[in-house]
Amino acid sequence: MTRRVVVTGLGLVTPVGLDTESTWDALVAGRSGAGPITQFDAGGYAVRIACEIDGFDPTRWMDAREIRRFDRFVHLSVAAADMALEHSGLEIDESNAERVGVVIGSGIGGLNMIQDQHSILLEKGPRRVSPFFIPGAIINMCSGLVGIRTGAKGPNSATVTACSTSAHAIGDSLLYIRQGYADAIIAGGSESVISPLTVAGFASMRALSTRNDDPERASRPWDRDRDGFVIGEGAAVVVLEELEHARRRGAPILAEVLGFGMSGDAYHISAPAENGDGAIRVMRATLADAGLAPEDVDYINAHGTSTPLGDRVETLAIKQVFGDHAYRLAVSSTKSMTGHLLGAAGALEFAVAVLAIDRGVVPPTINLDEPDPENDLDYVPHSAREMDVRVALSNSFGFGGTNACLAVGTLSDTA
């Protein structure tokens, strides 16, 4: 019998909230986290807006020495993991340490520390480069440090698949628990690269919105006037557990992870295939893995980045997979409020799908004033909607043509 996997904890640090509840309240209220960039002087840049985290204090979770040694994306992951474990009530000790794993990824990792140490190298010479530079910036240090801090000795790894990163982290963790490699895994993603180099790079690709004078309205998935995504930062971590393991300790069960799919476009380094091939196949693979029919799905938290091509292709793919049922689905993009958290986006949006099931509310797509004619699904425009969500999908698509999809649902009494 396949081991069933459930969600027992969530930890979020986002541009709209410093914890899970404040994030959820902001999303339901339709509040944008976008504003002028403050982390560097963006005055001469084509793009001067981002979704930054306001008020994050790493000293709540780490001492000053640890903070100096690690890049901000690691700080965020530690905070989110601690919150997820507290929510879950999972205690790690000698009796279970080898059965608890950590899989936390990042799409880009410690780029801020890389930039800072490169400047030190050029200005002060090689002897002044920090001995903590490499461990402080590498992507797997989120998983490594969380494992060290918690004592979790099970599978410890990090995914790196661009904007699909943390969806793959959760999917991999699902498979590890199903196969018996662990009974519980702390899984998710973290990203913090609102930096001169990152913003300049994405702007050169014309991937970012240039609506600098109206940042709160810049991220507008499926809208006729969308012109790119708004870069964001944050971390999202979940605790996944084998069902009976969770039941034995009386854990809060928020939802069941029903299925996971992966696909590759084999098409282009940054653009999706215009026929939606990769997105179609990954959603179909997820439904098959979960044993679901298209009609079983109530809600999709879409990738929905606010890019002209990406939004249209995702809509096309949903129509191909769901047929007439596509028009009965609620489909929303919380990136309209949080911006695009890159490697952390998938875990955040998976968490939103879990909360939609748990709370009976679907967050809206804000700024959707006039959809393109081909974008004609129910995108829950402007206002949140109370509805019974029994099954939800979360889509994540990344540069290089890497795709992930997760299915989550209410816990049923049957396998």
Catalytic residue among 163, 168, 245, 405: 163
- Tell whether 164 and 224 lie within a shared domain: yes
Residue 412's pLDDT is 80
The 10 Å Cβ neighbour count of residue 319 is: 18
Catalytic residue among 87, 168, 245, 303: 303
Average pLDDT over residues 226-252: 98
Comparing CA positions, the residue from 115, 335, 141 lying closest to residue 232 is 335
Pick the last residue of a domain from 218, 248, 278.
Answer: 248
Distance CA 9, CA 370 (A): 37
Comparing CA positions, the residue from 336, 304, 298 lying closest to residue 317 is 304
253: in domain:
no
- Tell whether 137 and 197 lie within a shared domain: yes
Catalytic residue among 87, 168, 245, 340: 340
The answer to whether residue 407 scores a pLDDT higher than 70 is yes
163 is annotated as an active-site residue: yes
DSSP characters over 170-216: HHHHHHHHHTTS-SEEEEEEEE---SHHHHHHHHHTT-B---TT-GG
Distance CA 104, CA 81 (A): 9
Average pLDDT over residues 15-32: 98
Query: What phi and psi values does residue 105 have, to the nearest 5 degrees?
Result: -110, 175
Q: Residue 316's pLDDT band (boundaries 50, 70, 90)?
A: very high
Residue 2's pLDDT is 86
pLDDT tens per residue, range 160-179: 999 999 999 999 999 999 99
414: in domain:
no
Comparing CA positions, the residue from 384, 404, 386 lying closest to residue 395 is 404
Residues 342 and 304 sit within 8 Å (Cβ to Cβ) = no
The answer to whether residue 43 scores a pLDDT higher than 60 is yes
Query: Minimum mean pLDDT among 1-5, 115-119, 228-232, 281-285: which range?
Result: 1-5
75 is annotated as an active-site residue: no
- Tell whether 226 and 129 lie within a shared domain: yes
Distance CA 53, CA 234 (A): 7
Average pLDDT over residues 81-87: 98
The answer to whether residue 1 scores a pLDDT higher than 80 is no
Residue 270's pLDDT is 95
Domain that holds residue 290: 260-409
What does DSSP assign to residue 271? S
Q: Report the share of the chain in percent with pLDDT over 90.
A: 98
- Tell whether 96 and 225 lie within a shared domain: yes
83: in domain:
yes
Pick the last residue of a domain from 248, 283, 310.
Answer: 248
Q: Could you tell me how far CA 157 lies from the centroid of its own chain?
A: 17
The answer to whether residue 208 scores a pLDDT higher than 90 is yes
Residues 80 and 13 sit within 8 Å (Cβ to Cβ) = yes
- Tell whether 239 and 271 lie within a shared domain: no
- Tell whether 193 and 286 lie within a shared domain: no
- Tell whether 233 and 274 lie within a shared domain: no
Domain count, the chain: 2
Average pLDDT over residues 191-197: 97
CATH at 236: 3.40.47.10
- Tell whether 208 and 346 lie within a shared domain: no
- Tell whether 264 and 130 lie within a shared domain: no
The answer to whether residue 261 scores a pLDDT higher than 80 is yes
- Tell whether 38 and 171 lie within a shared domain: yes
287: in domain:
yes
Residue 177 token pair: 């628990």
322: in domain:
yes
Place of tokens 């979360």: 394
Distance CA 383, CA 362 (A): 9
Pick the last residue of a domain from 216, 248, 280.
Answer: 248
Residue 413's pLDDT is 62
- Tell whether 123 and 226 lie within a shared domain: yes
Residues 219 and 337 sit within 8 Å (Cβ to Cβ) = yes
Distance CA 29, CA 25 (A): 6
pLDDT tens per residue, range 336-372: 999 999 999 999 999 999 999 999 999 999 999 999 9
- Tell whether 349 and 214 lie within a shared domain: no
